[in-house]
Every structure is written in C-alpha cells, then in structure tokens.
Structure 1
Amino acid sequence: MPKLLHLSCSPRADSESSTGARVFLDNFRQARPDWDIDVMNLWKDYLPEFEGHILEAKYSRLGGLAFTDSQRDAFAIAERIAVRLALADRVLISTPMWNFHIPYKLKQWIDVITQPGLTFRFDPAQGYLPLLKDRPTVVIIASGSDFVTGMNRGRIDMATPYLRELLHFIGINDVRFVPIGPTAGPAEPIRAARENAHRRIAELAARF
C-alpha cells in the first residue's frame, strides 16, 4: 500500500499549520482513499536527544570505524526514524515558523535522520551525495508575517530556504512550499491569507 508520511511539527492542534494540514489530508484522502497515512507528531512521538552514543555513532560512521554495541543500539533508533521517511511515497510537513526559523523539534528530527549511510554518504571525489530517492513533498509553513507579498515587517524567512536545502541534501527535490501568513495582526488579512492558502492546499492535495 502506498504511503504518505505527515510530519506534524506544531505543539498546538488548532494552530494555523495544523489546520492547513487537516485541509490537505481531508482532500488527499478523498483523492487517494487507498493510501496509508503515517502521522509522526514530533511533540508526542519519541525522538532521541542528539548526544552521547548516537552522536558518537555518527562520527564513527564518518571516520569509517566500527560501532561499539552502545553506538549500534543508538544508531538503530535513528535508522528506524529515517526508514519512516525512506518508505514514504509522498511527504507532508506542516510547521509553524518560530523566530524566523523552524521549531526545535523539527530541527531535532532533522539532526536524527541526517546520518551517513542513512540519508547521505560522502565520496572523496564527489563530496556529499544523497541516499534518498526523490518524492513529491509539500511543506506548509505558518508565520506571523506575510512572506507571500513581502509585507514581512522587516523579518526574514530563514525556514523555507533551510528546509529546501536540507531536503535537497538528502535527495528530496520535488518540494512545494505553501506559506500561511500573516497569522498575527488585523483580522481581515489573517482571514484572507488563510482562505488563499487553504484553497491552494486543497488543490495540491487533490492531485498530489
């Protein structure tokens, strides 16, 4: 059965990014009722801290050294999390923007799965090479500012270019970003931004 992996990155079930994800999934289920949807809630599902044995395992792998038993056990946890991404035919990421960037839980997931031998490898002649196959991916990013029209109140969107580069690094290039913003300020711009984003999200989901 084909699978969609949904990374849910907001701690709030009623947040703008979570609401946008529900719009996507409702339309996706109607278009592809035979698909399995694997939801990984980064605030509830277990993510190991990126320190100790798992960090040592990464550097052992980069240095071509054998794992200790503790490193092997720690790396196996990262491998199981990475496999959920590797097995997905499609990916949905819904996230808020925090302090111009991504929430620390999403960064923690990235640090856990971006491992040599799992999602990338290093070749002395060619440099870093991705190990994942490309797959259609949608990233919904909700932000207090409006990064669609440029009315960003002097703020910089560092989340979008970072996620685009990270996904490219591990092999995922077919990525479409859907911003939702502004989510703060006067009610009318918020309503208009939400409606426009939900319309685009529904259209993407129907043909995703």
Structure 2
Amino acid sequence: MTMRILHIDASPRASRSRSRVVAEAFLAGLPDDVQVTLWDVWQMDLPSLGGDMIEGRYELLFGRPVDDAVADEWQAVAKIAADFLAHDAFVISTPMWNFGVPYRLKHFVDVVTQPGMTFRNDAVGNVEGLAAGKRALVIGASAMPIGHDPSLDALDHQYAYLAAWLGFIGVDEIERIQVAPTFGPEDAVAETMAQSCEGAAALARRWALD
C-alpha cells in the first residue's frame, strides 16, 4: 500500500529555511510511489480559537445548538483534523523560536488537538490517541547546539513539546533530526547542513525498508 506522508512546514522562510532543506533531503530519498502532501502553516487558513469558538465547543460536546457561524468553523476544524489523520506518517520541519516553536505551528496543534478528532476519553477520563499506528519525524533547526549538547536540554521546548504532543495523540514512533547549530562561522554551518542532510537521506533509506 502506498505510504501517505504529510509534511508540516513551520518556517516562514520557505526555500531559505534550513529545516525545510533537510526535510526535502529526507523526502527526496523515499521511494517514488510515496505520496507527500505539504502543509505550510503560514499559508493555511486555520480557524481562530477565540471565546465564541471555545464556548461553542462545550455546547457541541453536550449536544446543544450553536450559531451557524460557530458550527461552520468547528466543521472546518474537524475537516483539518480528519485530513491530518488520513496520512500514514508526519514530517514536521520547524525552526526554534525562543526555545519553542513558531506560533503558527502552535496554532495548528491547538486546532487539530480536539476530543473526538485526534484523541478521545473513556468514561473515567483515560486518553486514547487516534493516531496509533502512525510514525513521525521531527526536523528542528536551532541556532544553538540544542539536541547535541546535554547542558542545553533544559532549553529545548521545541522537540520536547512536539514529541509530547505526538505521543499524546497516539503516534507510536517518533524520530528526530536536530539541525544545529545554525549560527556561527559559514563553514561550520555548512558542515551542520551537510551532516543533517546526510542523516536525513540515511533515515529515508531505512523508512523505505520498513
């Protein structure tokens, strides 16, 4: 069966993004029959989760009517979540902003992480993620050597956050490529990129065999 991969890109720098370059090196190494869909979170029309939307969610959960506009927005959320789960694997490429992820990626996570859409609760509150059986690759870029220097682990709210979220929604296998450091002498940054792209290509070959 053809593998369907969703590439979620969180950098506003498009082709100049180092994390996207490494993601493209990974995707290029996969078999030709793999289907790849790109979601650029900076270009997506993500519903705003303001007060009316949140109150509407509670009303809908209890089976009560809501305004048509709110109902339409929640239908849009449900479609994004369903389209997300329709893929077999996820590749997330993101820069590190202030030790975390860009706000547009956080917005995306907030939109799709909804009860009954990407997870559900049983009668006593236990959580079951609905992305079980799927795998993910997180490609994070950072100016500092986060991910390579254990003394900086406390500053990592990029991979740690994304891995926790993916695990919460049930993703079984989460892998990481940390593109770092991306700040420093030109030759050092070039070496970072070369090693990261080589690692991405090697990982793609392994995925192709799984």
Structure 1, unaligned stretches of length 5 or more?
none
Deviates more, 1:38-47 or 1:124-133: 124-133
Match of 1:100 in 2: 99
How far, CA to CA, are the matches of 1:149 and 1:201 in structure 2?
16
Tell me, yes or no, if structure 1 residue 20 matches structure 2 residue 41.
Answer: no
1:76-131 Cα distance to aligned partner (Å, 9 max, x none): 11111111211001211111010000000000000000111101122242422212
How far, CA to CA, are the matches of 1:126 and 1:184 in structure 2?
45
How far, CA to CA, are the matches of 1:125 and 1:8 in structure 2?
36
Match of 1:66 among 60, 64, 76: 64
CA shift at 1:154, angstroms? Answer: 9.0
How far, CA to CA, are the matches of 1:92 and 1:152 in structure 2?
27
Contact 1:142 1:183 in 2 (8 A): yes
Contact 1:57 1:74 in 2 (8 A): no
The residue matched to 2:140 in structure 1 has which SS? Answer: strand
How far, CA to CA, are the matches of 1:189 and 1:157 in structure 2?
21
1:16-60 Cα distance to aligned partner (Å, 9 max, x none): 1111111112112xx2x1222111111112111111443223323
How far, CA to CA, are the matches of 1:2 and 1:177 in structure 2?
19
RMSD: 2.0
CA shift at 1:65, angstroms? Answer: 3.5
How far, CA to CA, are the matches of 1:82 and 1:96 in structure 2?
23
Match of 1:184 in 2: 183
How far, CA to CA, are the matches of 1:183 and 1:117 in structure 2?
39
Q: Which amino acid aligns with 1:128?
A: V
Q: Percent identity?
A: 32
How far, CA to CA, are the matches of 1:123 and 1:57 in structure 2?
22
- Output aligned runs, 1:13-52, within 5 Å: 13=14, 14-28=16-30, 31=31, 33-52=32-51
CA shift at 1:195, angstroms? Answer: 1.5
Contact 1:27 1:202 in 2 (8 A): yes
1:140-172 Cα distance to aligned partner (Å, 9 max, x none): 000001124317779711111111111111111
Match of 2:168 in 1: 169
CA shift at 1:8, angstroms? Answer: 1.0
- Output aligned runs, 1:4-153, within 5 Å: 4-13=5-14, 14-28=16-30, 31=31, 33-62=32-61, 64-68=62-66, 69-150=68-149
Q: Which amino acid aligns with 2:80?
A: I
Match of 2:4 in 1: 3
Structure 2, unaligned stretches of length 5 or more?
none
How far, CA to CA, are the matches of 1:150 and 1:139 in structure 2?
18
Contact 1:6 1:91 in 2 (8 A): yes
Cα gap change, 1:143/1:76 in structure 2, threshold over 3 Å: closer, same or farther? Answer: same
The residue matched to 2:182 in structure 1 has which SS? Answer: coil
Deviates more, 1:116-125 or 1:164-173: 116-125
**TM-score, with length taken from structure 1:** 0.89
Instruction: Give 4+ residue runs of structure 1 displaced > 4 Å after superposition.
Output: 151-155
